[in-house]
Amino acid sequence: MRHIVIVGAGQAGSLLALGLLAEGYRVTMVSERTAEQIGNGRVLSNQCVFEPALRHERALGLNHWDGQVPPVTGIAFDAGMPGSADPFISWVSPLDHPAQSVDQRLKMSFWLNEFVARGGELRIARATPEDLAGYAREADLVLVAAGRGPQFDSVFPRDDARSPYSEPQRGITLHLVTAPGDFYQGVTFGLVPGVGEFFVLPLLTAAGPKTGLYFSAIPGGPMDVFDGVTDAARHLELCQEQLRRFFPWSAGAAEDAKSDGPLDFLTGRITPVVRHGVGTLPTGQPVLAMGDTAITNDPIAGQGANNAVHCARIYQRLILEHGDRPFDAEFMRTCFDRYWDYARHSTRFNNDLLAPPPVHVLETLQAAQEFPEVAHRFAHLFNDPSDYEPWLGDPEVARAYLREVAERVA
Ligand SMILES: Cc1cc2nc3c(=O)[nH]c(=O)nc-3n(C[C@H](O)[C@H](O)[C@H](O)COP(=O)(O)OP(=O)(O)OC[C@H]3O[C@@H](n4cnc5c(N)ncnc54)[C@H](O)[C@@H]3O)c2cc1C
């Protein structure tokens, strides 16, 4: 029986581990935390997962929350100027199939228990780059799905050609709250040029439904005020203040909101980076990166957890197709190349959202107010970012499309 070691029990690692177990592989997962520690820990993400990724989770029978999770029914977009009472662009588009956000603390702790219950071998340890050679000696294939951050930099160096940013482009903060006011039961995406973005969405936690308030502040800008705030009540007050000041049209979502304490908020900064996904250990053994360890995006477009699912889906298919042949460096390069074929689209969409919106994108967002089909197409970029580059990646194509829609509708 082929033996696979996966370091990291997050969205990418756990999904691949459970998928391979179901196919009869021997799978060892190395997790720095137990299921209980993950479940009782700090909030990790907004984790909005869109339909194409949900389909893979469902195919593996891992959609345990389908009956309880509030459906994320669409995308509402608002853009306003700093200090304006109302947005100058505002539209809503339903998603063809709802997305979902299940608190990763709930999802990952459940999946980790499920992994053990289904016969997986779990080791609780914080793996180091030096440990990988030992895993590679005992297993046919070693994957590193240890999330973002520099800990495996020496194994998977940054790919400069694919990484346009060398610093964080946003200061991010997330607070899960209860008793929110009235807000759209989808993802509301607010944009204020020069300030940043605000997102609000419904999600399911172990304590029941909550609302995620997510701020994405331009570093050094007027909304970049959350660093160092450790008190939950003060953090929530700051969220409410920023909403009243920059997104007054969405302020009602948080006016009477309540915080459940210090584990329900986080603040940080993420440098988007694409790495070389195949690493060679000092011993010469190759290892393969997954999810955020391979490609880390800023959360602005909500693509990281979706990427992690697609990475697990693509790697699983290739591992199965590879049969009994050795999992050598060439095989790993094929895996990473196929993953990049998918993730280059979400990475481009994500990285472009971090830059000031070009005129043709603003024209498109404006036209979406008038033409539901434009709004629908933009909303579905979150589902399928491969439509981004051939459309909004080219100003001429984007403008020709708007002309074509306007003529057709006239
Ligand atoms: C505030 C915020 C909001 C977000 N919102 C969204 C969103 O709406 N939609 C979306 O798609 N994405 C979103 N993301 C991104 C998404 O959460 C990540 O991209 C996704 O979780 C990556 O999955 P992963 O499995 O690669 O890594 P992780 O989920 O980070 O999992 C890595 C796992 O490895 C473990 N680990 C780490 N180091 C070691 C080690 N040395 N040894 C053993 N175990 C280790 C960690 O404890 C963790 O369990 C958001 C992120 C943030 C921070």
- The DSSP annotation for 89-120 comes to EEEEEEEEEEEEEB-HHHHHHHHHHHHHHTT-
Question: Which residue reads 């509402």 in tokens?
Answer: 76
> Which CATH code of 3.40.50.1100, 3.30.9.40, 3.40.190.10, 3.90.230.10 fits the domain covering 72-101+171-269?
3.30.9.40
Q: What angle do the packed helices 304-322 and 329-354 form, to 10 degrees? A: 160
Ligand 1 centroid, distance to 179 Cα (angstroms): 27
Is residue 10 within 6 Å of ligand 1 at its C-beta? yes
C-alpha–C-alpha distance, residues 197 and 217, integer Å: 6
Ligand 1 centroid, distance to 272 Cα (angstroms): 13
Q: Which atom of ligand 1 is nearest to the CA of 305?
A: 11
C-alpha–C-alpha distance, residues 362 and 341, integer Å: 27
pLDDT at position 400: 98
The single-letter code of the amino acid at 269 is: R
> Which CATH code of 3.30.565.10, 3.50.50.60, 1.10.645.10, 3.90.1150.10 fits the domain covering 3-63+102-165+272-353?
3.50.50.60
Ligand 1 pocket mutation pick from 30, 38, 46, 306 by most atoms within 8 angstroms of CB: 46
The Cα diameter of the chain in Å comes to: 67
Q: Backbone dihedral region of 8: left (phi > 0), alpha (psi from -120 to 50 degrees) or beta?
A: left
CA 237 to chain CA mean position, Å: 26
Is residue 127 within 6 Å of ligand 1 at its C-beta? yes
Q: Which atom of ligand 1 is nearest to the CA of 128?
A: 41
The single-letter code of the amino acid at 230 is: T
The alpha carbon torsion through 300, 302, 307, 310 (nearest 10 deg) reads: -160
Ligand 1 pocket mutation pick from 5, 7, 11 by most atoms within 8 angstroms of CB: 11
Task: State the DSSP code for 69.
Answer: S
CA 113 to chain CA mean position, Å: 23
| Residue 368: strand, helix, or coil | helix
Which residues does the chain have with pLDDT short of 70?
180
Q: Domain coordinates of the chain in residue numbers?
A: 3-63+102-165+272-353, 72-101+171-269, 358-409
Q: What's the pLDDT tens digit per position in 155-188?
A: 999 999 999 999 999 999 999 999 767 778 899 9
Is residue 31 within 6 Å of ligand 1 at its C-beta? yes
Are 71 and 29 in contact by the 8 Å Cβ rule? The answer is: no
